[in-house]
Chain A
Amino acid sequence: MQDDQLDKIFKALSDSTRRRIIDRLSKQPAQSLFEVCAASVAEDGIALSRQTVSQHLAVLEKANLVEIIWKGRTKTHSLNITEGHIEAATWLMKYKQNGEEE
């Protein structure tokens, strides 16, 4: 896996708000920006501005962790875990196993 891809994935995961968004998208896919904001207030009691949430979603999208699907004229966000992300998650593991390189 390329360093720049790993950078994007780890950067995306380095923020607790973004990890919460991932948690919620895993339970309820295809959420609009409005729904992600509403869920944040409802579940965590945290009122994040739409602009803030929009920026978080953009970071997740860049890391390919969030997939955009248009539902009619509304842009929705779903969790998108690929082989690449699994690879990133196991990036540390290789040092546990005999210190082998890729």
Chain B
Amino acid sequence: MKIYLTHVFVDDQDKAEKFYTDILGFTVKNNVPLGEHRWLTVVSNEAPEGTELLLEPSDHPAVKPYKEALVSDGIPAHSFQVEDLHAERKKLGDLGVNFTVEPMDAGPVRMAIFDDTCGNLIQLIQMMDVTK
């Protein structure tokens, strides 16, 4: 058994597709019309056969209060791993991404949080070599 799919609830699939590909640099893997929405997944270029991220519409009535409560407490909806957080923060900042938490140490990782413009906070983490 393996985890092939995870998801993030997005306010607008078109906007999300742009943000997650143009800004974050992921690639669309599946894009299948499904009624008024799409089965829209992206993958990392570093792992094209890896876990897919489903950009899932937010229209179930439970989703709005769930997302609002997470953002209210500053809790990220998802977490992505990067090799160099400092470089990534600069690159995304230059592309106009709004960071709500600047890179900070959090035990064995360094982390930062940004707004995905689709109603979520997203965490970036860099694994630190704790043996150094």
Q: How far is the CA of A76 from the CA of B73 in the complex (A)?
A: 8
User: What 1/0 flags go to B66-80 for Cβ under 8 Å of A?
Assistant: 001001111110000
B107 to A74, Cβ gap below 8 A? no
A74 to B72, Cβ gap below 8 A? yes
* Chain B contacts for A41, CB-based, 8 A: 106-107
B107 to A42, Cβ gap below 8 A? yes
A72 to B73, Cβ gap below 8 A? no
Please give me the residue from chain B that is nearest to A32 by CB atom: B74
Q: Assuming A35-B101, A71-B100, is B107 touching A45 (CB within 8 A)?
A: yes
Please give me the residue from chain B that is nearest to A43 by CB atom: B105
A34 to B75, Cβ gap below 8 A? yes
* Chain B contacts for A19, CB-based, 8 A: none
Of A39, A45, A50, A71, the residue contacting B73 (CB under 8 A) is A50
Q: How many residues of B contact A (CB 8 A)?
A: 17
B75 to A33, Cβ gap below 8 A? yes
Q: How many residues of A contact B (CB 8 A)?
A: 18
A75 to B73, Cβ gap below 8 A? yes
Q: Assuming A74-B74, A74-B100, A75-B73, is B111 touching A38 (CB within 8 A)?
A: yes
User: What 1/0 flags go to A72-84 for Cβ under 8 Å of B?
Assistant: 1111100000000
Q: How far is the CA of A45 from the CA of B108 in the complex (A)?
A: 10
Chain B residues proximal to chain A, CB less than 8 Å: 68, 71-76, 100-101, 104-107, 111, 113, 115, 121
Chain A residues proximal to chain B, CB less than 8 Å: 31-35, 38-39, 41-42, 45, 50, 54, 71-76
- Ranked nearest first, the 3 interchain pairs of A and B with the lowest CB-CB distance are A32-B74, A34-B74, A33-B73
